[in-house]
Amino acid sequence: MLRKAHLTGSPLKIFRRTMVQTEIEAPEMPPCDYTPNPYKGFEYEKLMKVKEEHIVPCIQPYYKKPLLIHEGHMQWLFDHTGRRYLDMFGGIVTVSAGHSHPVARKVYKGTPGRETPRGKSKSQWNDSIQRDLRQLRISVILAEDRTRWVAAVDQAKSSYIKINEAIFKQMKTLWHTTNIYLHPKLYEYAEKLTAKLPGDLKVVYFVNSGSEANDLAMLLARIYTKNYDVISFRNGYHGMSPYCMGITGLSTWRYDLPISMGVHHAMNPDVYRGLWGGSKCRDSPVQTDRSCDCEDHCKAADQYYNQLEEVFKYSLPRGKVAALFAESIQVQSGFGRTGDTFWAFESHDVVPDIVTMAKGIGNGYPLAAVITTSKIAATLGHANHFNTFGGNPIACSAGIATLEVIEEEKLQDNCKKVGTYLLKNLEKLRDEFEIVGDVRGKGLMIGVEMIKNKSTKEPLSAKRFADIWEDCKDMGLLVGRGGLNSHVMRIKPPMCITQKDADFTIEVLRTAIQKNVEKCSAH
């Protein structure tokens, strides 16, 4: 049953009007008790004109009529008209803990010995605190004495506004000096972050983006091994710097230039479309429907990395393979997003030589890192190497707070619980519709591949995919778009989403697919 949406003119209301002829009702959006501030920026038409005249054309926003996002709150985004959307893409897998943790709108002050703040009765004080705690989405039992009331509010505030508060606090103290001087936040963060890594991965270099991190990782590997070739998977994206463009295996993300020599692209081990594997070969709650000869669920044996190194060492001509050197890119898959482990590589019993991380590391603040062993890191000291903004006080403060929120709010556990629930329900959609080809992922890192039919697995055309995608947006659901043919829905939301959000996502996808399935199959 449709109900009135939270905000006037919501996507739900708009979509209902467009679907009258199809007799398909749009799902009800989960409630949200947050109200965004009025938008006071550029008028939409003026903004689009500035974009056309002054922004490089390669930066193209999503959707036929791009959304002008004005404000965010946890898993929700609001456009300039106040319409609310469930963000299931998290700023391209960057907002890990949620958009702009709620800020308490009142400051409680009082004089020692006074029972309640001046001008408020105990019942008014009770009501006031309860309203704020509801705003913070925390349920507490209010104590009888004022001290415990304030402590309850402080606890709520510290838990849910930690990231914003950490950034604001640091901004009042020190923004930037570069690392020619010591500042405490860098070292505090370095200790906390490296403690999350296994083995000898205890030395960190902070940068500002995933491309910078992957660049530095390749530089380190080449300096340390004195070998320059790199093996990367086909269809993989790793960044837009010249080095990273070279290891990116997607023609749509590369220019016709001689970039990053010595890169070899290996076949992607895709058990849905590739040459090998099948229904027992994924480290995922959802397997492909393709048959498989494996005896049991495929999992690499312990120490397989070392065994592979031994094979290379003794089975190939001397000098042909100088080193087996593993870099693990955790730019999108780290920080508990896959659910079972904090780092995705840990579920494969591998300890890499170098690990890169970015995106969710700072909950949207520009921050990235390269972590390696002290022995490998020492090679970087053979020449000067410097990053002006890497490890600046504000970025490190954001990183510390993000790490603490992920731990305190048990977001890794939430990824496993809600992510598995979502994957299992997406699997039902796959079985229900001919045009849903593959559902893959783990935790809250999910892909849904749309196809023309299951017999040919031909990718759904860009136009038909866009029809479904646009309908999802009109109903208040934002998902990403990817794949070689832009036919894969990327679902990688803030890690704070709930089971109700997952239910809404499933119902919106089902509604959009139902509306378009006939013309997709006929196209």
Q: Which residue has the higher pLDDT, 312 or 217?
A: 217
Is the pLDDT at 149 greater than 70? The verdict is: no
Q: Tens digits of per-residue pLDDT, 436-493?
A: 999 999 999 999 999 999 999 999 999 999 999 999 999 999 999 998 889 999 999 9
**In the prediction, which pLDDT does 289 show?**
82
> What's the confidence (pLDDT) of residue 512?
97
Nearest to 468 by CA among 455, 484, 483, 449: 449
499: domain CATH number? 3.90.1150.10
The pLDDT of residue 432 is 96
In a domain, 173, yes or no: no
Mean pLDDT confidence for 220-238? 88
Please tell me the predicted confidence (pLDDT) of residue 520. 80
Q: Give the pair of three-digit tokens for residue 251.
A: 């023609």
Helix, strand, or coil (residue 189): helix
Pair 91, 115 in one domain: no
Residue 140 sits in the same domain as residue 242: no
As a whole number of angstroms, the distance between CA 210 and CA 355 comes to: 11
Q: Which residues pair with 227 in a beta bridge?
A: none
Whether 404 maps to a domain, the answer reads yes
Out of 388, 408, 428, pick the residue that ends a domain. Answer: 408
Q: Would you say residue 25 has pLDDT above 80?
A: no
- Comparing 27 with 257, the larger pLDDT belongs to 27
151 pLDDT more than 70 = no
> Do 53 and 116 reside in the same domain of the chain?
no
Q: Where are the alpha helices (DSSP H) in 3-107?
A: 11-18, 44-54, 90-93
Confidence of residue 347 (pLDDT cuts 50, 70, 90): confident
Are 306 and 219 contained in the same domain?
yes
What pLDDT, on the 0 to 100 scale, is given for residue 329?
66
| 249-253, 277-281, 422-426: which is most confident | 422-426
The answer to whether residue 428 scores a pLDDT higher than 90 is: yes
Q: Given pLDDT bands bounded at 50, 70 and 90, which one contains residue 402?
A: very high
User: What was the pLDDT predicted at 201?
Assistant: 95
Boundary (domain end) residue, out of 408, 429, 446: 408
Question: Of 408, 435, 451, which one is at a domain's C-terminal end?
Answer: 408
User: Does 139 lie in the same domain as 38?
Assistant: no
Give the number of other Cβ atoms within 10 Å of residue 504's Cβ: 21
Average pLDDT of the chain, as a whole number:
82
User: SS3 sequence, 400-419?
Assistant: HHHHHHHHHCCHHHHHHHHH
Q: What's the whole-number mean pLDDT along residues 111-131?
A: 44
Domain, as residue range, for 138: 104-160
Question: Are 253 and 373 members of one domain?
Answer: yes
Residue 125 has pLDDT above 60, yes or no: no
Residue 170 maps to a domain? no
pLDDT of residue 436: 96
Return the pLDDT at 333: 86
If one counts the domains in the chain, the total is 3
3-state DSSP of 218-270: HHHHHHHHCCCCEEEECCCCCCCCHHHHHHCCCHHHCCCCCCCCCEEEECCCC
pLDDT grade, residue 60 (50/70/90)?
Answer: confident
- Whether residues 386 and 456 fall in one domain: no
Is residue 172 in some structural domain? no
Q: Is residue 286 part of a domain?
A: yes
The yes-or-no verdict on residue 175 having pLDDT over 70 is yes
> What is the rounded distance in angstroms from the CA atom of residue 98 to the CA atom of residue 494?
5
Higher pLDDT, 196 or 104: 196
pLDDT at position 291 is 82
In angstroms, what CA-CA distances link 419 with 276, 408, 493, 523? 26, 19, 10, 32
Stretch 374-383: mean pLDDT, rounded? Answer: 92
Residue scoring higher pLDDT (215 or 7): 215
On whether residue 484 sits in a domain, the answer given is yes
Same domain, 511 and 438: yes
Q: Are residues 460 and 428 in the same domain?
A: yes
Over residues 360-377, mean pLDDT = 94
Q: Domain with 286 in it: what CATH number? A: 3.40.640.10
Let me know if residue 186 belongs to a domain: yes
Distance CA 64, CA 208 (A): 31
Q: In this structure, is residue 169 part of a structural domain?
A: no
Q: What is the residue type of 509?
A: L
Span 284-289, average pLDDT: 87
Q: Residue 165 pLDDT > 70, yes or no?
A: yes
The sheet carrying 76-79 orders its strands as 69-73, 76-79, 84-87, 477-478
Q: What confidence tens digit (pLDDT) does each residue in 287-341 have? A: 888 888 776 666 655 666 666 667 666 665 555 544 455 666 667 888 999 999 9
60-69, 170-179, 297-306, 433-442: which has the minimum mean pLDDT?
A: 297-306
Same domain, 114 and 91: no
pLDDT value at residue 343: 93
Residue 382 and residue 506 in one domain: no
Q: 21 and 78, same structural domain?
A: yes
Task: Taking the CA atoms of 277, 281, 282 and 287 in sequence, report the sign of the dihedral they define.
Answer: positive
